């Protein structure tokens, strides 16, 4: 897919991986729809960075609210633009063990069901062109990569990875779905982590450091451009899974 002139929606694009993805896609000439939930200032900063190289627009929605998702896509349709690429990035990780029902409920809505609902709204848009979905999963969502301290997050990222592969059986070749599974990635979420914790995690990689958000963004661009990549989860963890 040639990204120049295409319209891409990046959810959770106010910081971290989402911001880097939005700016990288703009760098390819895409018109970027920058979604945010609460961090308007961060989303505005993302849009400014994207508009230095392309064009874009700002959209707000609580993706755990089905009505707000419907309203979001209603606003996009009203703008007269069709979406060519959806990047499901929004969501946050909450720790929890098997007994914590509230964490199961929250992560199901926040990690899994929100991405499914957004994807469903995207697929309902009329289009005769090739379209793509790129899901941001996680190393924790890979079969042997789950973290018992983040059990629910790991489980629902794994579910999203399975949907990534399975959807292609009914949607391809009109819609192609892939995913990126980042490992430990340098984002604002780690800003308050003790240096010794980050150093210990960096030592679990083969490269001796965290992955950068820009490296994840580069992988998303590769997936969006490559039409032969179908139903894959590209693990980008600096070698943690193979060390």
CB contact at 8 A, 43 and 58: yes
Q: Which residues contact 71 (CB under 8 A, 6 or more apart)?
A: 61
CA distance 126 to 123: 8
CB contact at 8 A, 86 and 119: yes
Element (H, E) at 57: strand 55-60
* Helix axes 66-78 and 114-124, enclosed angle (nearest 10): 30
Measured CA distances, 117 to 61, 62, 108, 141, 164 (Å):
13, 12, 12, 19, 14
For the CA atoms of 72, 59, 36, 219, the dihedral, rounded to the nearest 10 degrees, stands at 90
Active-site annotation holder among 36, 106, 140, 153: 153
DSSP 67-132: HHHHHHHHHHHHTTPPPSEEEE-------B-TT-HHHHHHHIIIIIIHHHHHHHHHHHS--SS-EE
Answer yes or no: 153 catalytic: yes
Q: Could you list the active site residues? A: 153
């Amino acid at each position: 897919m040639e990204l120049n002139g295409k319209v891409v929606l990046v959810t959770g694009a106010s910081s971290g991986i989402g911001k880097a993805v939005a700016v990288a896609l703009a760098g390819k000439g895409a018109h970027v729809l920058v979604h945010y939930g609460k961090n308007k200032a961060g989303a505005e900063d993302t849009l400014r960075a994207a508009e230095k190289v392309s064009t874009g627009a700002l959209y707000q929605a609580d993706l755990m609210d089905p009505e707000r998702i419907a309203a979001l896509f209603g606003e996009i349709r009203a703008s007269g633009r069709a979406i060519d690429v959806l990047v499901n990035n929004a969501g946050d990780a909450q720790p929890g063990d098997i007994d914590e029902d509230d964490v199961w409920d929250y992560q199901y809505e926040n990690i899994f069901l929100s991405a499914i609902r957004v994807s469903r709204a995207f697929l309902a848009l009329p289009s005769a062109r090739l379209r793509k979905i790129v899901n941001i999963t996680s190393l924790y969502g890979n079969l042997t990569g789950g973290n018992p301290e983040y059990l629910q997050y790991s489980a629902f990222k794994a579910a999203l990875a399975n949907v990534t592969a399975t959807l292609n059986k009914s949607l391809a070749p009109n819609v192609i779905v892939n995913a990126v599974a980042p490992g430990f990635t340098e984002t604002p979420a780690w800003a308050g982590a003790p240096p010794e914790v980050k150093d210990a995690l960096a030592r679990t990689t083969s490269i001796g450091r965290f992955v950068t958000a820009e490296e994840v963004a580069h992988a998303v661009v590769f997936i969006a451009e490559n039409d032969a990549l179908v139903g894959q989860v590209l693990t980008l963890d600096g070698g943690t899974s193979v060390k």
